Amino acid sequence: MTKNTIVLGTWAWGDNNSYFGNNYDEDHFRPVYDAAIVKGLTFFDTATTYGNGGSEEILGDLMANTPRSELTISTKFTPQMAPATDNPVQTMLDESLKRLKTDYIDY
């Protein structure tokens, strides 16, 4: 990542009315995603806490037709949402990977 990297945040994707009074689904964000890809904006930030995993699910669906090697994906560990497992960080990562439909994240 360089100093001039622009990242598209997906905080409100999958929000389902919680913050912005919207009820947008994948179809609403597809033009946003497609325009970003066309313009070379290929770094996306998401998290389990964004829409309770909804953001990752939407992004995972939208990424389906883009070679994964052309994307940079970051997600985050949220201690307040961590499951009571032996390795909650790994558990949350595995759940994020499943929602994102990928086998790795970049950051």
50 is catalytic: yes
Alpha helices in the chain (DSSP H): 26-38, 54-62, 88-100
Residue 43: beta bridge partners?
Answer: 72
Catalytic residue among 19, 50, 104, 107: 50
Distance CA 24, CA 22 (A): 6
Distance of CA 88 to the CA centre of its chain: 19
Residues designated catalytic: 50
